[in-house]
Amino acid sequence: MKGSGFTLRQPLCRLNGIGVRIHLSTSPQPFRSHPNLSDEVNRNIAQSEIEGGVFLNDLPPATVLEIQTQHHCYQVVLLDDNNVLISGHPLYCPEPVRVAIAGSTWGGSMLKRRFVGRGMHLEFRHPQYQSPIMTSRVEEIREPRLRQVRDQRSGIARR
């Protein structure tokens, strides 16, 4: 994805027998601490830029992301606005379900809107639950190759 602001690296892990690559956004300007925010908040914002992530608004619809957290690996397909199809959690989304991704947090109430960040917790609204769902810490964000996604959907890559 040359020129799109993403850094792509070699496959780091396999999901259902599919090698996937890391998908990170780059920021054109480094973060400058804000005098009205606490040192902890400024530190968290700076750390999110170092660890990397992706703003969902920068991606076209139908983009597929694999989000590896400490406990689960989610597959996310961007639809429109804040809506995505998400799967990968045995209770909340064992099969793809349409949800609204709010963004990522550091475990508190401060939300980085429409951002999926490494080292942060993804937060989304599920239609069957009143409270937002917050994942464990995001470890990796990957974009599977198009052929692998097609093969996985058709069952070729499943074991």
Angstrom distance (rounded) from CA 119 to CA 43: 13
User: What pLDDT shows up at residue 55?
Assistant: 87
Radius of gyration of the chain (CA): 16
What's the mean per-residue pLDDT of the chain? 76
User: What pLDDT shows up at residue 9?
Assistant: 42
Distance of CA 126 to the CA centre of its chain: 16
Predicted confidence (pLDDT) at residue 15 exceeds the cutoff of 60: no
User: What pLDDT shows up at residue 110?
Assistant: 78
Highest mean pLDDT, choosing among 43-52, 77-86, 142-151: 77-86
- Lookup: tokens for 148: 């692998």
The gap between the terminal CA atoms of the chain, to the nearest Å, is 29
The reported pTM is 0.67
Mean of the pLDDT values across residues 82-104? 94
Report residue 68's pLDDT band, with 50, 70 and 90 as the boundaries. Answer: very high
CB-based contact 110:127 (threshold 8 Å): no
Predicted confidence (pLDDT) at residue 159 exceeds the cutoff of 70: no
Report residue 111's pLDDT band, with 50, 70 and 90 as the boundaries. Answer: confident
pLDDT single digits (tens) 115-158: 899 999 999 999 999 999 999 999 999 988 655 555 555 554 44
